[in-house]
Structure 1
Amino acid sequence: MNIDISYEIPNAEEYNNLRIISGLSPKDEAASEIGLKNSIFMISLRDSGKLIGMGRIIGDGGCFYHIVDIAVAPSYQGNGLGNLIMSEITKYLDDHASKDSYVSLIADVPADRLYKKFGFDYSAPKSVGMAKRY
C-alpha cells in the first residue's frame, strides 16, 4: 500500500463520499465547502489520487480545538491509518495549541478505543457531550 499524506483540503464531493462510505452522515455540499475552508488543520490520505482517509481540527485556534471527520474507507480499515491520522493531528496540536487549550471530540463506539490511545478520556459524569442537529 502506497498512501500519500496531504494537508490539502479535499473537495466537498469527495469529502462527503468518504463520510458516507465510512458510516458518517452526509453533509450539505455548500456547507461542506465553507466548513472545509475554515478548518484549522486537515490531513488527507490518498491512494492513487483517491481520498481514502481524513481528519481535521476545527475551533478558534487559541483556546478551543475540536477534532472531527476522522474517517477511513472501509477497504483500508485495519491498516493503522486511523492511528496515522490521529498521530498527525496530535503532532499539530503539540506544535500549536497552548498549554491550557481544551481539545475535544465526539467518539463513535468503537472508535473511542483509538482516541484513548492518544490521551482522550470520557468527560462524563462531570460533563457530557450534547448536540443539536438542523
Structure 2
Amino acid sequence: MIHEGSDYQVHIGTPSIEDYRRLREIAGLSPKSKEAAEKGLPNTLYATTIRYQAGETVAMGRVIGDNGCFYQIVDIAVDPSHQGKGLGKIIVSSLIDYVKAEAPDGAYVSLIADGPAKYLYAKFGFEPVTPESIGMAFRVQRT
C-alpha cells in the first residue's frame, strides 16, 4: 500500500485526456479516440488516479453511471512498469469506497473483468453473474 514518503500519490479526479488514452493503451485496454475521451471523461461520477513522484499518472480508474440505480466501474489501468505494487487494489478500493458512501440502497454496481483481474474484483465482493446473466456488448464502428 502507499504510505507516507512513498513515491506514489493518490489523487481524486478524472485523468487528463492524454493520460487516459495513454494508460488505456499501455495497460492493454482497447484504445479510445481523442473525440471519445473528450465526450466521455466529463461524465465521470468519480475517478482516482495515482501519480509517480508527483509527475506522471501511472494508474487510474473511474465510476460512471446514472448516480442512482446503476454504477459501473471502468478504466482500471496500471502502467505495466508499475504493476505488482498494489496500485490496482488502491484504485478499486477508492472507487468502491465512493460507491458505498454515495449509492442508494439497492444500486447495481457492475464491471467487466478481463483475465486475472477477476481475482482482484472478487476481493471487493464482485461475483460472476453467469449463468443467470451474461455480459453483452458491441462496438460502434464508423467507416
Q: Structure 1 length normalisation: TM-score?
A: 0.97
Percent of residue pairs bearing the same amino acid type:
49
Q: Aligned partners of 1:123 and 1:58: how far apart in 2?
A: 20
In structure 2, runs of 5+ residues without a counterpart are 1-5
Give 2:51's aligned residue: 46
Q: CA RMSD in A?
A: 0.9
Q: CA deviation at 1:4?
A: 1.2
Segments ≥4 residues shifted beyond 3 Å? none
Q: Please, which moves more after superposition, 59-68 or 44-53?
A: 44-53
Secondary structure at 1:107's aligned position in 2? Answer: coil
Q: 1:112 aligns with which of 103, 108, 118?
A: 118
Give 1:5's aligned residue: 10
Is 2:98 aligned against 1:92? Answer: yes
Code of the aligned partner of 1:5: V
Q: Where in structure 2 are the equivalents of 1:28-43 lying within 5 Å?
A: 28-43=33-48
Q: CA deviation at 1:107?
A: 0.4
Q: CA deviation at 1:8?
A: 2.0
Code of the aligned partner of 1:127: S
Q: Aligned partners of 2:11 and 2:36: how far apart in 1?
A: 22
| 1:84-118 deviations in Å (ceiling 9; x for gaps) | 01110111011001120000000001100000000
Code of the aligned partner of 2:14: I
Q: 2:24 aligns with which of 8, 19, 24?
A: 19
Q: Please, which moves more after superposition, 8-17 or 116-125?
A: 8-17
Q: Structure 2 length normalisation: TM-score?
A: 0.91
